[in-house]
Amino acid sequence: MGLSIVKPHVKPQPLQSGSLSFASTKMTAMSNQSCPHNQAMSCGDCRMKSLCLPLALEIEDVEKLDKIVQRGRPFQKDEYIYRSGDKFHSIFAVRSGAIKAFTADDEGVEQVTGFYLPGEVFGMDGIAHTDHISSAVSLETSSVCEIPFHRLEELSITLPSLQRHFFKLMSQEITNDQHLATLLSKNSADERVATLLISISARNAKRNLSEQRFRLPMSRADIGNYMGLTVETVSRVFSRFQKQQLLQVDKKEIEILDMDGLKELANI
């Protein structure tokens, strides 16, 4: 899910040796990896593998996982990956684009439960139920890997490191959600928005993108919904941040001018 502001001392990002060293290498333009929406890409070749794959997996294990992963055509903006009420049978990993997960209460009022960026896994809340209890839509053209859950369960039995990895992924989702709850219960509008921006910035950095300049894939309404604020409040916070020289905002384009100031606001 969303807010993963990893505190320094917890940060377990051991730049893995061996198999996935090429995460930082430059792609050649004509390589079949050049298009992030490419359906044919395998797990072993995926730029995101260091984010969504268990670091411990051997090459042949990655191939086994690869065999059960399904890659469909990209989703267009506003297309559903799954809907609340659909039968649950898969979890998903974002390969490109951005995904919004949300629930709807009895009156149909939407509640955004998370934004997922490339390398992140979503749909795990469906595991406890036979049906999905949330929906997921694409916020922009996105490609996702679909991982049939029963296949994953089977494979986890023969690949202990995969089992461990998925336990960890789910645990991470739990702590993320708890962070969100903490944020909502304790922090002001300014702090919430600052935290979201820092989170997105940090997640961009993990993908070797700029942490200063990026484009928000979601609307102000989505941000407000997620952070427990109204659109108006979100808009005001952006204006205020701009006035305080913390940000440069142009619609969805964000430039963080004062990272330290923003982090201070977000209590990092």
State the residues that interact with its own copies by CB under 8 A. 10, 12, 103, 105-106, 109, 111, 113, 124-131, 133-134, 153, 156-157, 160, 163-164, 166-175, 177-178, 180-182, 184-186, 225-228, 267
Q: Out of 239, 245, 255, 267, which residue is the one contacting DNA (CB under 7 A)?
A: 239
x/- string (CB under 7 A) for DNA, residues 74-93? --------------------
Please answer whether residues 116 and 95 qualify as being in contact, where contact means their C-beta atoms are separated by less than 8 angstroms: no
Q: From the list its own copies, DNA, none, pick the one residue 239 interacts with, judged by a Cβ distance below 5 to 8 Å according to partner type.
A: DNA
Please answer whether residues 138 and 77 qualify as being in contact, where contact means their C-beta atoms are separated by less than 8 angstroms: yes
Nearer Cβ to its own copies, position 41 or 112?
A: 112
- Torsions phi, psi for 255 (to 5 deg): -125, 125
Q: Out of 163, 235, 244, 248, which residue is the one contacting DNA (CB under 7 A)?
A: 235
Q: Out of 79, 232, 255, 260, which residue is the one contacting DNA (CB under 7 A)?
A: 232
- Torsions phi, psi for 240 (to 5 deg): -60, -45
CB of 20 to its own copies, least distance (A): 19
Q: Out of 42, 236, 248, 261, which residue is the one contacting DNA (CB under 7 A)?
A: 236
Where in 177-216 is the site for DNA (CB under 7 A)?
188-190
CB of 33 to its own copies, least distance (A): 29
The residues that bridge with 213 in the sheet, in sequence order, are: 255
Nearer Cβ to its own copies, position 131 or 255?
A: 131
* 232-239, long-range: CB < 8 A, 24+ apart: 233/189, 234/189, 234/193, 236/189, 237/189, 237/190, 237/193, 238/193
CB of 170 to DNA, least distance (A): 30
CB of 186 to DNA, least distance (A): 9
Nearer Cβ to its own copies, position 21 or 158?
A: 158
x/- string (CB under 7 A) for DNA, residues 93-122? ------------------------------
* Angle, CA 125 vertex, CA 124 and CA 130 arms, to 5°: 100
Interatomic CA distance for residues 211 and 29, integer angstroms:
23
Say if strands 90-96 and 143-148 run parallel, antiparallel, or are unpaired. antiparallel
Closest CA to 134 of 86, 91, 64, 178: 86
User: Which strands sit side by side in the sheet containing 247-250, from one edge to the other?
Assistant: 213-215, 253-256, 247-250
